[in-house]
Structure 1
Amino acid sequence: MQESVVTVSVSIRRTLIEGGVRPERIKVIYEGVDLDWVDSQHAPAFDYGNSGLVVGTVAHLSSEKGHQTLLEAASRVLSRVTDVHFVLVGGGPLMSTLKARVRELGIDEKVTFTGFRSDSEALMKTFDIFCLPSLSEGLSSGILVAMASKLPIVATRVGGIPELVIDGETGVLVPPDDADQLAAGLCKVLESPQLRKKMGCAGRQRIEETFTLERKLNETEKLYLSMLASVLDQSQDCG
């Protein structure tokens, strides 16, 4: 019987090959976005105060997601662009540590921690920029939804993220764990309404062309049918 390993990014495929899995067994099927569902989401009423532009992230508050770097970058951004608010959506073990760092940086009026939100995808519609400063990442469903929501992306060049975000076209990619570069990327997008709109529209188009739920389901069905055909061929040979 033909056996396949399905993975959601080329990055993970490389890791599996390094771990000894034969390349021909691995099939990359990207996650897909239900565009009708995304479009049906409405931004909830959420008061960020007199915030201006909103930079948001949606991720578990754990070390690999790079929130510490985001806060250091936020401090740098706010010294240059004051009319901006940072929103961290998600719960996790670093909540108290991150809040303490916000107080140390003196930016507590410019940062909101929402905790876990079951409506995080809808909450993205209150953002102007989606930021994901991960230190490692397989493939980010948050970035997929953000791009489908026409948000420009500022993220780190790790794991499967470069497979989603085209640097300079749908967003800005920066090295991981580099607050200066992350701040520079954020300022570049914050300071240009035209660039935000251009990247947001390009991101939506990329989702429509490559990362739809329909495409994912079709590719999954095609793989299963191929495996079934292989089994049937083997059974006929035995007969």
Structure 2
Amino acid sequence: MAIRTIHIDTARTWRGGQNQALLTVKGLRALGHPTMLVAHPDGELRRRAPQDPDLVPLAPRFEVDFHAAWKLARIIRAFDPAVLHAHDPHGVALAALALGFRMPWPPPMLVASRRVDFRLAGNSLSRAKYRQVDRFICASAAIGRILVADGIPADRVVTVHEGVDLQHVADAPPVSIHETFWLPHGAPVVLNVAALVPHKGQRYLIDAFASVVRSVPDARLVILGQGELHQSLEKQVHHRGLEKHVLLPGFRTDVLGLMKTADVFVMSSVMEGLGTSLLDAMACARPIVATDTGGIPEVVVHDETGLLVPPRDADALADALTTMLLDEDAARRYAAAGYERVHHRFSVEHMVRNTVAEYEQLLAARS
């Protein structure tokens, strides 16, 4: 039976959560489920879905925005969804407020995606909005454990691993990372793709690379992303004398193509809900070096699809990267195993089917 859903994402930026929201909406529609998307009027999500006739431009100006909530309530009454699915915290607040207005009967069930492994805020507003959530869909079991520890009942928490659009990855044309950034021909390249924020751990990665180049002198590190730490990371690169070895080119739209021509993909996070860029890298058949934190071990199997090291440990990170760059046979084995793992367990189709199953279970429990 078709399930009518409204999906809400209020972010302006484009990160993993917005991509997963769009993949979910597209996947549900492909299965015949009527789906509406509510997105920020000036956001990247709306820009990437410009021809969507069921996209409503709406976002709160602040967390408690009754006017925006009233508008959403009108949309809910007109569309009459069975499920209201919020993909970010402000979206949860907006949905919770909207449900306080007059609703069809029965009102839609409220589902919230949780993709970060941060603790829930302990203030009264946070408690009030999350109290109305009927089901939390967590991107990893690690995130679910944090929610339960923060007082969310375990029977309201489920895990649905995020998915990657394997066909989209396969269709992305390779882009020479050497030519794009004028790197020496044949130099081994390590790629990191992440926002430049503290919990992504690039400061430890740069420290680690100072050791890597002592063993692999022609190695290069390319860090793609933008964020508040860009200037301080550039200063760190200069301080370590790594200007020829470490590049911070900022945000790129051709990440998948560049990823296909890098030698190793690295994730240095201190905290990580799951890490969708890891899934992309595995789908591109890249060997992985990553930190053993959050949901990352649910994606990367140590010594099978890559190497895991403790977070904040620059020495261990350097050793793993050096090993991966010098042992080409092992790198090829890890890459092949990662490619198989992502195809069998982390496809977007798998994610959407599991999401629908959670909707069905939730609605069945109400009836």
Equivalent in the alignment of 1:31: 162
Equivalent in the alignment of 1:184: 319
Q: Does residue 214 of structure 2 align to residue 83 of structure 1? A: no
CA distance in 1 between partners of 2:238 and 2:365 (Å) = 61
- CA shift digits 1:15-48 (9 cap, x unpaired): 0110111112211000011111000111224134
Gaps of 5+ in 2: 1-105, 110-133
CA distance in 2 between partners of 1:231 and 1:97 (Å) = 52
Equivalent in the alignment of 2:51: none
Equivalent in the alignment of 2:229: 94
Q: Does residue 142 of structure 2 align to residue 11 of structure 1? A: yes
The alpha-carbon deviation at position 183 of structure 1 amounts to 0.2
**Between Structure 1 and Structure 2, which shows a larger proportion of helix residues?**
1
What pairs up with 1:130-149 in 2 under 5 angstroms? Answer: 130-149=265-284
Deviates more, 1:181-190 or 1:106-115: 106-115
SS at match of 2:244: helix
CA distance in 2 between partners of 1:188 and 1:26 (Å) = 39
Equivalent in the alignment of 1:49: 183
- Which among 191, 203, 208 is matched to residue 68 of structure 1? 203
Equivalent in the alignment of 1:168: 303
The alpha-carbon deviation at position 132 of structure 1 amounts to 0.6
- Which among 196, 200, 203 is matched to residue 338 of structure 2? 203
CA distance in 1 between partners of 2:142 and 2:205 (Å) = 23
Matched to 1:24, the amino acid is: D
In our comparison, the structure showing a higher alpha carbon Rg is 2
CA distance in 1 between partners of 2:145 and 2:366 (Å) = 27
Determine if contact 1:156/1:175 at 8 Å carries over to the other structure. Answer: yes
Q: Provide runs of 4+ in structure 1 moved above 3 Å.
A: none
CA distance in 1 between partners of 2:341 and 2:289 (Å) = 16
Determine if contact 1:77/1:186 at 8 Å carries over to the other structure. Answer: yes
User: Between Structure 1 and Structure 2, how many residues are aligned?
Assistant: 232
Matched to 2:293, the amino acid is: V
CA distance in 1 between partners of 2:306 and 2:276 (Å) = 16
- CA shift digits 1:152-201 (9 cap, x unpaired): 11111110001100000111100111111000000111111111110001
SS at match of 2:189: strand
CA distance in 2 between partners of 1:171 and 1:211 (Å) = 16
Task: With a CA cutoff of 8 Å and minimum separation of 6, indicate the structure with the bigger relative contact order.
Answer: 1
Matched to 2:181, the amino acid is: D
The alpha-carbon deviation at position 107 of structure 1 amounts to 1.3
Determine if contact 1:87/1:111 at 8 Å carries over to the other structure. Answer: yes
SS at match of 1:79: helix
CA distance in 1 between partners of 2:182 and 2:316 (Å) = 26
Q: CA RMSD in A?
A: 1.4
SS at match of 2:190: strand
- CA shift digits 1:125-162 (9 cap, x unpaired): 12110101111111101111001111111111110001
CA distance in 2 between partners of 1:65 and 1:120 (Å) = 17
The alpha-carbon deviation at position 222 of structure 1 amounts to 1.2
What pairs up with 1:148-163 in 2 under 5 angstroms? Answer: 148-163=283-298
Q: Tell me the TM-score normalised to structure 1 length.
A: 0.93
SS at match of 1:109: coil
The alpha-carbon deviation at position 67 of structure 1 amounts to 0.6
- Which among 223, 226, 234 is matched to residue 358 of structure 2? 223
